[in-house]
Structure 1
Amino acid sequence: MRRRHLVQLAAATIAAPSLSAFAQAFPAKPIRLLVAFPAGGPTDITMRSLADNASKVLGQPVVIENKPGAGGTLPAQQLQTTSADGYTLAQIPLGVFRLPYTTKINWDPVKDIAYVINVTGYAFGIVAPTDGPIKNWNDFVAYAKANPGKLSYGSTGTLTSPHLTTELIAQKLGLVLNHIPYKGSADLNQAILGGQLMAAADSTGFAPLVESGKLRVLNTWGEQRLAKFPDAPTLKELGIDIVQNSPFGIGAPRGTPPDVVKKLHDAFKKAMEEPSYVQSLARYDMLPIYMDSAQYARFAQETFQREKALVEKLGLGKPQ
């Protein structure tokens, strides 16, 4: 018995440095960061800035791969079939926490993701073409009431925050709208400029089109007005008690070693603090929203419960 104990102790002593060495050696190759929206939109542009900064800290490239579609949930789903070694990471938009309530999945968004760090959130609003019939929010509401189901608006996907928040606004005001989903801001902008939509709900990827005079902002969804669009009222100012900024961050597969998660967290936190990243966010009226790994995991749990209530309220849950 004593001899067996000594052999086991010796084996544990040999194994311990190898695990430590793995953590110290990480990363030994490029890291993939899966982004939930298409290239060229505000999410892609800001995440590329963050990835470039993190690459310098980690000493290995952090390579962006765009995985648009499915309401921004494809990267999180891909984590479920990926090695838990820290070399594949994913952007985690809020839509991930709605998945079990809207579709059948065999994994848990809270338990089956290692939450690394929250990095930012969106500034949202509703816009309309400047040459269209809707000149302000009162026009939007009046048209929708007079023409139930005929006011077409686009979003960046079914069950994304722009879609659900707009439907919640409509429910509060007794409106019936015609929702048309797109894969991301770039596609949505093309559709509204092409005359296919009367309005669009999005993060401020619409900013360049507003600044060029092609779109006008009907409202924004933050706690305060956006500095870039000081004339656009918040939902609260319009009597609608909603604030939406949809924080998002970075996750890894469940079971990723804690030392690796910490190394990733520390690198991305440093990357968030670089002026280049802060400037890229400011371009879209976004701000750094930092949560460490423990805070982000708690946020995931709380959001999971809150999103269940929202989906049920809107009657968008999966059939029983």
Structure 2
Amino acid sequence: MQRRHLIQWGAAALATSSLGAQAQSFPAKPIKLVIAFPAGGPTDITMRVLADNASKILGQPVVVENKPGAGGTLPAQALQGTSADGYTLAQIPLGVFRLPYTTKINWDPVKDISYVLNVTGYAFGVVVPADSPLKTWTHFVAWAKANPGKLSYGSTGTMTSPHLTMELAAQKLGMELLHVPYKGSADLMQAILGGQLMAAADSTGFAPQVEAGKLRVLNTWGAERLAKFPDAPTLKELGLDLVQNSPFGIGAPKGTPPAVVKRLHDAFKQAMEQENYRTALARYDMVPIYMSSATYQKFAADTFEREKALVEKLGLAKPQ
């Protein structure tokens, strides 16, 4: 009996020692960070600054790989079946928590991801071409009600926060809109500037086009007006009890050793705190939104339940 206990103790000590050594030597090679949206958009630009900062702290390159499509959920899906060694990370947009309600998957967004930390969120709004007859949100709503299903708007993908928030607003106001999904902000901006859409719902990657006089902001979706667009009312000011900033962060494969998760957390938290990252975010009216690994894990569980209610309310849930 005593010998068996000694063997068990020895095995446990060896495992602990191995994990400690793994964390101390981590990372020993480049880390891949998979981003949910295309190159050139607000997410890509800001995450590349964060990755570069983290590279310097970790002593190994953090290489960004873009994997757009499927409403921003492909990076999280790519974690499934990937080695749980900390060398593959993924951006986790809010759309990940809607997946089981809209499509058939064999993994759980809460249980099957190791949540490292949350880093930021978006500032969203609705824009129209500068020469559009829809001068205000009031005009937008009136035209949509008079022409059911004809007012076209684009978003960065089906089941993304811009899409669902617009559909929720439409439901509350009795509008029927025509939704056109795109893979990211760059494609969406090309479409609206090219006259293919009447409106776009997006993060404020549209700011340069607004500042150039090509687009007009009808509303923004934060709790308060944006300093960059002080004349654009919030949805709350327009009578809709809606605030959307869609926080997102970084996840690793399920089973990633806690010591490795902590090493990644500490490095990316330090990377978040650097001035160049804050400056990059500010270009798109974004701010750091830090959540620790434990807080982010709880946020994932809470959001999973909340998004289920939203998807069901909009009648978009897939029949089980």
TM-score surpassing 0.5? yes
Size of the aligned set, in residue pairs, is: 320
Code of the aligned partner of 1:167: E
Structure 2 SS opposite 1:22:
helix
Aligned-residue Cα RMSD (Å) equals 1.1
Report matched runs for 1:16-165 at 5 Å: 16-165=16-165
Q: TM-score, normalised by structure 1?
A: 0.98
Q: Deviations over 1:133-164 (max 9, x none)?
A: 21111111111011110000000000000000
Q: Is the 8 A contact 2:113 2:251 kept in 1?
A: yes
How many Å separate the matches in 1 of 2:202 and 2:137? 15
Stretches of structure 1 lacking an aligned partner (at least 5 in a row): none
Report the Cα distance in structure 1 between the residues aligned to 2:157 and 2:306, rounded to whole angstroms: 20
Query: 1:18: how far off?
Result: 2.5
| Structure 1, 132-141 or 3-12: larger mean CA deviation | 3-12
Q: C-alpha distance in 1, partners of 2:24/2:260? A: 9
Alignment-derived partner of residue 180 in structure 1? 180
Asked if the contact 2:124/2:220 (under 8 Å) is kept, the reply is yes
Distance 1:255 1:11, change over 3 A: closer
Q: Displacement of 1:17 after TM fit?
A: 2.5
- 1:9: Cα distance to partner? 4.0
TM-score normalized by structure 2?
0.98
Partner Cα separation in structure 2 for residue 8 and residue 283 of structure 1: 56
| SS at structure 2 position matched to 1:114 | strand
CA-CA distance at 1:19 after TM superposition: 2.2
For the residue of structure 2 that corresponds to 1:244, the secondary structure is coil
110 and 151 in structure 1: CA distance in 2 versus 1, 3 angstrom threshold: same
Q: Tell me, in whole angstroms, the C-alpha distance in 2 between the residues paired with 1:115 and 1:73.
A: 15
Question: What's the secondary structure of 1:301's corresponding residue?
Answer: helix
Task: Return 5+ residue gaps in structure 2 as ranges.
Answer: none
Task: Provide Cα deviations, 1:153-181, integer angstroms capped at 9, x if missing partner.
Answer: 00000000000000000000000000000
Structure 1: distance between partners of 2:235 and 2:50: 30
SS at match of 2:164: helix
Q: Give % identity.
A: 80
Residue deviations 1:76-129 (CA, integer Å, cap 9, x gap): 000012100000000000000000000000000000000000000000000000
Alignment of 1:239-278 (within 5 A): 239-278=239-278
In structure 1, distance between residues paired with 2:75 and 2:104: 17
Give the partner amino acid of 1:51.
Answer: A
Tell me the alpha carbon deviations over residues 15-57 of structure 1, each in whole angstroms, 9 at most, x when there is no partner: 4422211110000000000000000000000000100111111
Call closer, same or farther: CA 1:12–1:298 in 2, change over 3 Å: closer
